[in-house]
Chains A and B, each alone.
Chain A
């Protein structure tokens, strides 16, 4: 099987799983417990926290890590925890975990703005900055890498420009598709950053919210006061350690992986039949995500046809497969026949150029036969 739906989820790393196995076996203790086993688990969590910050180039004196159950929870905590009343700005390309929170903020009588996108799915900077200039904005959330098109927003630069217009703004970024994939050191202008484990060969059910220590954030989950009171509930030590180890694997070779995956993406982009496919992802995109449209064909049908040839791709965003068109690609300004044909091809470092060749062949043949059929 060729698995090209790595933006939906990735295969858990066997190495990370076996390294973390002790926390399901001899070291199963509750990290809040005061005996040795508990302390050992608690210390193990501390190493995991440090490694997340190190990976992102953030200092431990200024930032802290709150482990959560997923990227969505991290986003929710950031958006509902930092500012209760005020003006909220985000963009139309965000994952539902952010968009739905903003809609909820609107329902709670807050002012909310959704900034438009460029053709490749990145945020329209001019529009964003004018929203900041024209309104007394309190909270901004701009995703790092768009999960459907792969477009990279230069969040360091955006956060800097936004803060120079209004230093009181809280800046959050959903980094779920960037963490472990895009080599970058985050700047101090970023207040909150969400990441998820299962997108980098960790397990589903583990995420983290990175926050500035001095930022006051009210929790979503109250209880025993774990995670510095930010997120109660006994920590998922095994999941967090798998997250740490999987992160290590990615960050120890992040630049090499970037180059390797870029080659795979380049091959696919250049060899998909241009009479059949139009590429939505632009130049400045994550090499891990490629969005294309088989114009005039239904994306879901093409997806099933590829599935029959043992090639797995995504249609739009797997989380929103219940909706007909991709909301994000629609916001990029494409017409209906393009929206209809969108598939998302997303890579991981385990993919090979041979797989890319086989995929291209299968995709070109399938799309051609479908197009003949649909005529």
Chain B
């Protein structure tokens, strides 16, 4: 019996005349992800079919599909002829290691098939019970369902398990953005959520050697790589931030250290976005989580961005919920490695929690803002991951 993986998408269903665009994009993303695995991808009505893969690659294929935004569920299915006996053999083989209660659900698109769907379900249920007397039927709340999908093209899919995937929209469907990534718990999660909604991302990290070391940078590289799995590959841009931190530290009141740093980061992010063609800046800010994320602090850093929207996917998330996602996408353990990160070395004893924008600007006026930014923009390292 032939096997195939059925791939179903989710929100694309809601699209109207532009549905084709999304379908093609998802198809391309699947093909890219599976490019080094032997398989055939068949486009069917509102689903894709992966066929002719070898059994050794099966686990890797499922794992990769699980990281492609836009895929709702996948099922591994037997593909048989539209013939009751074949369907029955497939169903009996699928139930071999099953226990408990089940039902049969039949969808008959091929109206020339000799039995109607109710008859198929009923007869098949009976045949399965005859083969495995320990199973029981429960049509209201079954422990597993045998699905029979009789298609017009002469093939029938028979499967039991449905694996839930990422959902969301295909990456690239919602343009391109630049994620500020720090090495903490939040920004990788923000990046993941952005990819999941279909926005392709680049990453920007501020490195302050010697205040942060190579280990801290490696941590960001490792985190970015993880997000890259959801993004179909990723570029990490590393900007040296040391001279800016030192200038602020030397010339401005201690309490505005973080506020001013954030303003510089946003300015640099905007300029890099324009250079890369990114249409938004994405941050991992969560309202009120730390002093630099109060509404006053966000207002202060937001006000230097002139051309682009700043997206904050986590703005209303609780920390525990963020941690839960970080664990799910396997970034948490890397994020909590305690290497110095860009914010902690110059952390003031009493940071301004509600910075007054006029005072912030007055402090900033002591600096050669333009000069410091152009120096930072001169030498940006790009790491392709």
| A298 and B345 in contact, given A322-B338, A323-B338, A373-B246 (Cβ under 8 angstroms) | yes
- Once the chains are docked, how many angstroms separate the CA of A301 from the CA of B210? 5
- Is A324 an interface residue, CB under 8 A from the partner? yes
Looking at the assembled complex, report how far the CB atom of A227 sits from the nearest CB atom of chain B, in whole angstroms: 36
Tell me whether B213 and A304 are in contact (CB under 8 A).
yes
Contact with A305, one of B210, B250, B337 (Cβ below 8 angstroms): B210
- Give chain A residues whose Cβ lies under 8 Å from the Cβ of B345: 298, 301
Q: 8 Å CB contacts to A: which residues of B223-279?
A: 246, 249-250
Contact with B340, one of A301, A305, A307, A308 (Cβ below 8 angstroms): A301
- Once the chains are docked, how many angstroms separate the CA of A307 from the CA of B213? 9
Looking at the assembled complex, report how far the CB atom of B346 sits from the nearest CB atom of chain A, in whole angstroms: 9
- Give chain B residues whose Cβ lies under 8 Å from the Cβ of A322: 337-338
- Give chain A residues whose Cβ lies under 8 Å from the Cβ of B339: 300
- Once the chains are docked, how many angstroms separate the CA of A302 from the CA of B210? 7
| A308 and B210 in contact, given A298-B345, A301-B345 (Cβ under 8 angstroms) | yes
Looking at the assembled complex, report how far the CB atom of B102 sits from the nearest CB atom of chain A, in whole angstroms: 46
Interface size on A, residues (CB 8 A): 14
- Is B211 an interface residue, CB under 8 A from the partner? yes
Contact with A300, one of B213, B246, B250, B337 (Cβ below 8 angstroms): B213
- Once the chains are docked, how many angstroms separate the CA of A302 from the CA of B83? 75
- Give chain A residues whose Cβ lies under 8 Å from the Cβ of B215: 321
- Give chain B residues whose Cβ lies under 8 Å from the Cβ of A303: 210, 213
- Once the chains are docked, how many angstroms separate the CA of A304 from the CA of B246? 16
Question: Most B CB atoms within 10 A — which of A302, A304, A305, A323?
Answer: A304
State the majority secondary structure of interface residues on A: helix
- Give chain B residues whose Cβ lies under 8 Å from the Cβ of A298: 211, 340, 345
Looking at the assembled complex, report how far the CB atom of A327 sits from the nearest CB atom of chain B, in whole angstroms: 14
Question: Which residue of B is nearest A366, CB measured?
Answer: B210
- Is B21 an interface residue, CB under 8 A from the partner? no
Question: Which residue of A is nearest B211, CB measured?
Answer: A301
- Is B317 an interface residue, CB under 8 A from the partner? no
- Is B58 an interface residue, CB under 8 A from the partner? no
- Give chain A residues whose Cβ lies under 8 Å from the Cβ of B132: none
Tell me whether A304 and B210 are in contact (CB under 8 A).
yes
Contact with B209, one of A302, A304, A321 (Cβ below 8 angstroms): A304
- Once the chains are docked, how many angstroms separate the CA of A238 from the CA of B211? 41
- Once the chains are docked, how many angstroms separate the CA of A302 from the CA of B211? 8
- Give chain A residues whose Cβ lies under 8 Å from the Cβ of B210: 301-305, 307-308
Q: 8 Å CB contacts to B: which residues of A322-364?
A: 322-324
Tell me whether A324 and B338 are in contact (CB under 8 A).
yes
Question: Which residue of B is nearest A372, CB measured?
Answer: B250
| A373 and B249 in contact, given A301-B345, A308-B210 (Cβ under 8 angstroms) | yes
When each residue 275-313 of chain A gets 1 if its CB lies under 8 Å from chain B and 0 otherwise, what string results? 000000000000000000000001011111101100000
- Give chain B residues whose Cβ lies under 8 Å from the Cβ of A305: 210
- Give chain A residues whose Cβ lies under 8 Å from the Cβ of B246: 373
| A300 and B340 in contact, given A373-B246, A373-B249 (Cβ under 8 angstroms) | yes
Q: 8 Å CB contacts to A: which residues of B319-339?
A: 337-339
- Once the chains are docked, how many angstroms separate the CA of A296 from the CA of B74? 57
Looking at the assembled complex, report how far the CB atom of A320 sits from the nearest CB atom of chain B, in whole angstroms: 11
- Give chain A residues whose Cβ lies under 8 Å from the Cβ of B214: 304
Question: Which residue of A is nearest B215, CB measured?
Answer: A321
- Once the chains are docked, how many angstroms separate the CA of A308 from the CA of B211? 12
Q: 8 Å CB contacts to A: which residues of B6-61?
A: none
- Once the chains are docked, how many angstroms separate the CA of A304 from the CA of B242? 13
- Give chain A residues whose Cβ lies under 8 Å from the Cβ of B249: 373
Question: Which residue of A is nearest B250, CB measured?
Answer: A373
Given contacts A300-B213, A304-B213, A373-B250, 20 further A-B contacts (CB under 8 A): A298-B340, A298-B345, A300-B340, A301-B210, A301-B211, A301-B340, A301-B345, A302-B210, A304-B210, A304-B211, A304-B212, A304-B214, A307-B213, A308-B209, A308-B210, A321-B215, A322-B338, A323-B338, A324-B338, A373-B249
Could you list some 12 contacts between A and B, CB below 8 A? Answer: A298-B345, A300-B339, A301-B211, A301-B345, A303-B213, A304-B210, A304-B213, A305-B210, A307-B210, A307-B213, A308-B210, A323-B338
Q: Which residues of A contact B (CB under 8 A)?
A: 298, 300-305, 307-308, 321-324, 373
Query: What 6 A-B pairs come out closest when comparing CB atoms?
Result: A304-B210, A305-B210, A304-B213, A301-B211, A301-B210, A300-B340
